[in-house]
């Protein structure tokens, strides 16, 4: 038996009714706040997430579903290579010679082994490092060969200075070849980067302030557990635009937070807790990072491997650490609040003032840094006690520099993503409770399928929910089917009824049965 892949699941009826209930309610709320829907593709260029979410985040470093799109690109590379280097045979990892099907006999026949790999659209230091480790692998396996690592890239790409220097250091040659590079693609692990990419691509700044929302699946290769899946669903929104359209105003932060409070309350999830922090501007954070690095220097050895790495590369991420032994050390570290500049502090206070005015309760949490690099200033999470270990129901914050990081114009923004799976888990409603059962079961007598279908069609046009039976069923079976479907009434369609243009309608709960003229049926059933 083929089963759904670990970390993914089928959502079946009646549970899907709860999902529809949630989605209908949030669409109503979004409408009231004048948000409009955006749908972006489920996969994007890997680079979007690397640059948008941050290389050093758990999501990008460990959790993405990424693949190389374009075997043909590799063949193109080989062809281009042969044209400029007749007689030489390139190894390319994706043609399988080196990595997938390492063939010592084949390699032994060669005097000089050239490893050439596709640098994708642009040579990067990451590609250099990958190539250099392939070369190392070959040197270990065929020590008597000269290994010549070459990083190929298509002729239109330019080479950043840092890459040239790094290539020299690693002893890698860079070579321009005319071919179509393969592309690294990734299933979206979150949707903000995609929305901001769309903002830039379609020049949405022309529209002033954009208030966009999305509902859809996201993908992360995390360890599956209750409330944590590898395909999960997010409901999110983004407010983004030029500063002149008011995108930077604390009024927008407060409006988004108030909307979320309203949304949760409307869904009957009233025991939420809003945790709020400011992670400052990049300038504030630079100072904070310096202080963190200094504070971590003497203690990092005692911390987990991830934290040791983070302490050097991106110390802020230390606050994401969940290892219990590291927590006492993390408790002693400096906090971002001590490093907020005047502007960040004022902005943060303004957000809190508005929240207090509109009566949205919150608590401050100066450890809250969120798992994505792009956040600036306001950062927040809503938690819900009933969820257990995975208690964050939604998270978000400001990302004023994200558009620029992705090559767009300055476009301050704020957004959030609600975990829809967890939202559904937090509901007090049951699927049975929100499911709309059939109002009526139409039971045709022998030979009456056509008449029954005509009647069902009329009723459905009046928004009656109809389950249509089959004239092959005996009356007893029709009654059983009607009860199983949870129908309120059963309506019998026989020859006499059609002639009289009046039908016997039986209430399945009370047993009461009346004859109702055709024209009055819909009103009677709904009444």
User: Sign of the C-alpha dihedral, residues 72, 74, 76, 79?
Assistant: negative
**Closest Cα partner for 263 from 26, 77, 100?**
26
Q: How far is the CB of 277 from ligand AMP (least distance, A)?
A: 14
Annotate 497-523 with DSSP letters as a single string: HHHHTEEEEEETTT--EEEEEGGGHHH
Instruction: Work out which of 163, 254, 417, 424 binds ligand AMP, going by CB under 6 A.
Output: 417
For ligand AMP, the binding residues in 231-250 under the rule CB under 6 A are 232, 234
Q: How far is the CB of 417 from ligand AMP (least distance, A)?
A: 4
Position of tokens 């309120």?
A: 488
Q: How far is the CB of 223 from ligand AMP (least distance, A)?
A: 9
Is residue 269 involved in binding ligand AMP (CB under 6 A)?
no
Segment contacting ligand AMP by CB under 6 A, of 201-209, 268-276, 414-422, 473-481: 414-422
- For residue 138, what are the CA distances in angstroms to 82, 109, 113, 167, 377? 21, 14, 8, 18, 48
Instruction: Work out which of 284, 306, 421, 451 binds ligand AMP, going by CB under 6 A.
Output: 421
Q: How far is the CB of 65 from ligand AMP (least distance, A)?
A: 12
Segment contacting ligand AMP by CB under 6 A, of 11-19, 223-231, 257-265, 361-369: 223-231
Instruction: Work out which of 197, 211, 220, 347 binds ligand AMP, going by CB under 6 A.
Output: 220
Determine the size of the site formed for ligand AMP (CB under 6 A): 17
Task: Please give the Cα distance from 39 to 31 (Å, whole number).
Answer: 16
Nearer to ligand AMP, 227 or 412 (CB): 227
Nearer to ligand AMP, 93 or 227 (CB): 227
Task: Please give the Cα distance from 468 to 449 (Å, whole number).
Answer: 9
Is residue 371 involved in binding ligand AMP (CB under 6 A)?
yes
Q: What is the largest distance, in Å, between two alpha-carbon atoms of the chain? A: 99
Q: Copy the structure tokens of residue 128.
A: 């250099």
Nearer to ligand AMP, 375 or 479 (CB): 375
Q: What would the 3-class secondary structure string for 66-104 be?
A: EEEECHHHHHHHHHHHHHHCCCCCEECHHHCCCCCCCCH
Q: Copy the structure tokens of residue 310.
A: 């983070």
Report the b/e string of 473-486 with b at 16+ CB within 10 A: beeeebbebbeebe
For ligand AMP, the binding residues in 377-396 under the rule CB under 6 A are 392-395
Annotate 369-415 with DSSP letters as a single string: --S-TT-EEEEEEEEEGGGTTS-EEEEEEE-TTHHHHTT-----EEE
Instruction: Work out which of 120, 252, 285, 422 binds ligand AMP, going by CB under 6 A.
Output: 422
Instruction: Work out which of 419, 438, 469, 494 binds ligand AMP, going by CB under 6 A.
Output: 419
Name 203's Cβ contacts closer than 8 Å, sequence gap at least 6. none
Residue number of the CB closest to ligand AMP reads: 419
For ligand AMP, the binding residues in 74-133 under the rule CB under 6 A are none
Nearer to ligand AMP, 235 or 303 (CB): 235
Nearer to ligand AMP, 268 or 433 (CB): 268
Is residue 190 involved in binding ligand AMP (CB under 6 A)?
yes
Instruction: Work out which of 228, 335, 488, 518 binds ligand AMP, going by CB under 6 A.
Output: 228
Segment contacting ligand AMP by CB under 6 A, of 9-17, 69-77, 301-309, 415-423: 415-423
**Cβ proximity of 135 and 101 under 8 Å:** no
Nearer to ligand AMP, 22 or 163 (CB): 22
Side-by-side strand order, sheet with 90-91: 90-91, 112-118, 146-154, 173-177
Q: How far is the CB of 320 from ligand AMP (least distance, A)?
A: 10
Q: Tell me the helix, strand and coil percentages in the chain, rounded to 5.
A: 45, 20, 35
**Closest Cα partner for 424 from 23, 29, 39?**
23
Nearer to ligand AMP, 147 or 394 (CB): 394
Task: Please give the Cα distance from 428 to 361 (Å, whole number).
Answer: 22
**Strand bridging mode 90-91 / 112-118:** parallel
Instruction: Work out which of 35, 213, 214, 229 binds ligand AMP, going by CB under 6 A.
Output: 229
Nearer to ligand AMP, 228 or 524 (CB): 228
Segment contacting ligand AMP by CB under 6 A, of 177-185, 285-293, 417-425, 507-515: 417-425
Point out which residues bind ligand AMP (CB under 6 A).
Answer: 190, 220, 222, 227-229, 232, 234, 371, 392-395, 417, 419, 421-422
């Amino acid at each position: 038996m083929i089963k759904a892949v670990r970390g993914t699941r089928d959502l079946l009826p009646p549970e899907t009714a709860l999902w529809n209930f949630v989605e209908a309610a949030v669409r109503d709320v979004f409408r009231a706040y004048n948000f409009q829907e955006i749908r972006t593709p489920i996969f994007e260029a890997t680079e979007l997430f690397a640059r948008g979410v941050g290389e050093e985040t758990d999501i990008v470093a460990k959790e993405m579903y990424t693949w190389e799109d374009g075997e043909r690109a590799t063949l193109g590379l080989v062809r281009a290579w042969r044209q400029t280097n007749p007689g030489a045979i390139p190894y390319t990892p994706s043609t399988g010679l080196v990595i997938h099907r390492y063939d010592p006999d084949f390699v032994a026949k060669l005097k000089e082994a050239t490893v050439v790999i596709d640098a994708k659209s642009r040579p990067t230091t990451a590609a250099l490092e990958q190539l250099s480790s392939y070369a190392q692998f070959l040197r270990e396996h065929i020590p008597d060969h000269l290994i010549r690592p070459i990083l190929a890239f298509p002729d239109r790409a330019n080479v950043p200075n840092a890459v040239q220097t790094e290539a020299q250091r690693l002893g890698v040659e860079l070579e321009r070849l005319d071919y179509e590079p393969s592309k690294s693609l990734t299933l979206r692990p979150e949707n903000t980067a995609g929305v901001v990419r769309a903002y830039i691509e379609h020049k949405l700044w022309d529209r002033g302030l954009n208030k966009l929302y999305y509902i859809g699946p996201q993908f992360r290769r995390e360890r599956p557990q209750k409330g944590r899946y590898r395909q999960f669903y997010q409901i999110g929104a983004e407010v983004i635009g030029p500063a002149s359209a008011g995108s930077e105003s604390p009024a927008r932060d407060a409006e988004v937070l108030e909307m979320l409070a309203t949304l949760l309350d409307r869904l009957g999830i009233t025991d939420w807790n809003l945790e709020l922090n400011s992670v400052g501007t990049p300038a504030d954070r630079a100072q904070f990072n310096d202080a963190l690095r200094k504070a971590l220097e003497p203690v990092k050895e005692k911390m987990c491997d991830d934290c040791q790495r983070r302490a050097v590369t991106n110390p802020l991420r230390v606050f994401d650490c969940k290892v219990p032994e590291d927590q006492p050390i993390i408790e002693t570290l400096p906090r971002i609040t001590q490093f907020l500049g005047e502007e960040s502090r004022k902005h943060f206070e303004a957000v809190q003032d508005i929240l207090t005015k509109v009566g949205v309760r919150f608590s401050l949490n100066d450890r809250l840094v969120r798992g994505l690099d792009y956040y600036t200033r306001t950062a927040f999470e809503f938690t819900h006690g009933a969820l257990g270990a995975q208690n964050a129901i939604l998270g978000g914050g400001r990302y004023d520099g994200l558009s620029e990081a992705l090559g767009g114009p300055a476009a301050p923004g704020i957004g959030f993503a609600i975990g829809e799976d967890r939202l559904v888990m937090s509901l007090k409603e049951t699927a049975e409770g929100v499911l709309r059962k059939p109002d009526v079961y139409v039971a045709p007598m022998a030979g009456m399928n056509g008449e029954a279908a005509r009647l069902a069609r009329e009723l459905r046009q009046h928004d009656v929910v109809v389950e249509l039976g089959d004239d092959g069923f005996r009356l007893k079976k029709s009654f059983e089917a009607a009860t199983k479907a949870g129908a309120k009434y059963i309506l019998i369609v026989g020859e006499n009824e059609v002639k009289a243009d009046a039908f016997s309608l039986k209430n399945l709960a009370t047993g009461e049965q009346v004859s109702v003229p055709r024209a009055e049926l819909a009103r009677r059933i709904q009444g």
